[in-house]
Amino acid sequence: MFTAILSQLFPLLPLALAVYISFFILRATDLTLDGSFVLGAAVFAKMLELNYTPTIAGITALLAGTLSGTGVALIQRKQKIDSLLAGILATFVLLSVNLLIMGRPNISLLTKVTLLSNGINASELDINILSGAYSSILCLGVCLILVTRYGLLLRAFGDNANLLHRLGKNVETHRICGFALTNSLAAASGCLTAQTIGYADIGMGFGLTLTALGAVILGQQILQKFSPKQLLHGMQAFSVCLVGVAFYLLATNGLLRLNLSPIYLKMILGLILIMFLRTANLCRKKGFYASSTT
C-alpha cells in the first residue's frame, strides 16, 4: 500500500500546488486544471509517439499547459466572464483539443522510454524516485517564486486586483502569468501521471481539480492543527500540498482496502470533500484565511 501511495503522491503534487495557487492565491475557481492535466499527458504521449526525446516531450507538455492557462486568462479578460465559467468553457474546448492531439482516446506508454523509465524493464522503485525528484524540484522551484517580489504581486492580484491596477500595474499580465503557472503545473502533473500509470487517457483528468482541492484543504486543516507557527509562505504552500495529498491518498487507499465496492468510492469521497469544504468555510468565517495567506 505504501508504494502505491508513493506512486500516486508525487505525480499529483504539482496539481495540488496548482490548485493551492489558483484557489488561495489567485482566488479564482479554475476548473481548467482538469483539462490541462490531460493536455500535459496527451502532448507528452503524442510527442513520444512522434519519436521526440522524453525531455523535449516533457518541455512541450509544460508549454502546452502554459498556453491553455493563457487561454483561460484571456477568456476572463477584464472580468467579462467569471473565472468558474471560463474554466468550464476552457475544459469543454480542451476535451476536443486533447482528442485532436492524441488522435484516439488513449495512447500507451508502456513500451516507450520516458523521463521515468527506460522501457519495459523499469523497476517501480526507480520510477517513484525519479517522479519524486522531478515533482519536488518543480514544486519547490515554484514555491521559491512565491516568496519573491513576483509572488507578492500574484498574491496582491488575488487580494485586490482593482488596487493593483490603480498602482499602475497591468492586471491582465498578472492574470495571464498566474494562470499560465498553475496550468503548466497541472500539465506537469498529467505528464508525470501518464508515465507512472503507463498511458495517457482522455478521461484521466475528470474531477481531479476538485479532488486536489479537497486534499489541499485537508492539508491546510492538518497543518493548522499541528504547527501553530506560521511557515514562510512558499514553504507553507509546499507542505500543505504534500501533507494534504498524502492524507487524501491514505484515505482512498484505505477505503479500497476495506473491500469497499468501487461503485461507492466517488460518492464517499464526494461526501468527505463536502465535509472538508464545510469545515474550511467555518474557518473562513473565523478569519482563518485572512491569517493563512500571510
Partner 1 sequence: MHHPLLEIKNVSYSVPGISRQILSQINYKIYPEDFVILLGSNGSGKSSLLKTLDRRTEATSGDILLNNKKIAHYSQKEFASLVITLTQNTTESLFPSLTVLENCLLALERLKDKTLLKQQNPKQFFSTHLKQFNTNLAHHLSTPVSVLSGGEQQALVLALSMLHPPKLLLLDEHVSALDPSAAEYLLTFTAKIIAAYKITCLLTTHNLNTALRFGNRLLALNNGNISREFNEKEKKTLTQEDLLKLYLPSHII
Query: Which residues sit at the interface with partner 1, rule CB under 8 A?
Result: 149, 152-153, 155-156, 159-160, 162-170, 287, 289-291, 293-294
CA distance 163 to 169: 9
At position 44, the amino acid (one-letter code) is F
Nearer to partner 1, 228 or 287 (CB): 287
User: Minimum CB separation from partner 1 for residue 294, in Å?
Assistant: 5
Please report, for residues 144, 246, 275, the alpha-carbon distance to residue 226 in angstroms, rounded to integers and kept in the order given.
23, 16, 20
Nearer to partner 1, 168 or 228 (CB): 168
User: Minimum CB separation from partner 1 for residue 241, in Å?
Assistant: 20
Nearer to partner 1, 253 or 292 (CB): 292
CA distance 9 to 2: 10
User: Minimum CB separation from partner 1 for residue 159, in Å?
Assistant: 4
User: Minimum CB separation from partner 1 for residue 152, in Å?
Assistant: 6
Nearer to partner 1, 149 or 225 (CB): 149
CA distance 227 to 155: 23
CA distance 98 to 20: 24
Nearer to partner 1, 168 or 262 (CB): 168
Please report, for residues 10, 15, 64, 197, 275, the alpha-carbon distance to residue 241 in angstroms, rounded to integers and kept in the order given.
11, 9, 23, 21, 18
User: Minimum CB separation from partner 1 for residue 245, in Å?
Assistant: 24
Give the 3-state secondary structure of residue 81.
coil
Nearer to partner 1, 165 or 197 (CB): 165
CA distance 233 to 291: 11
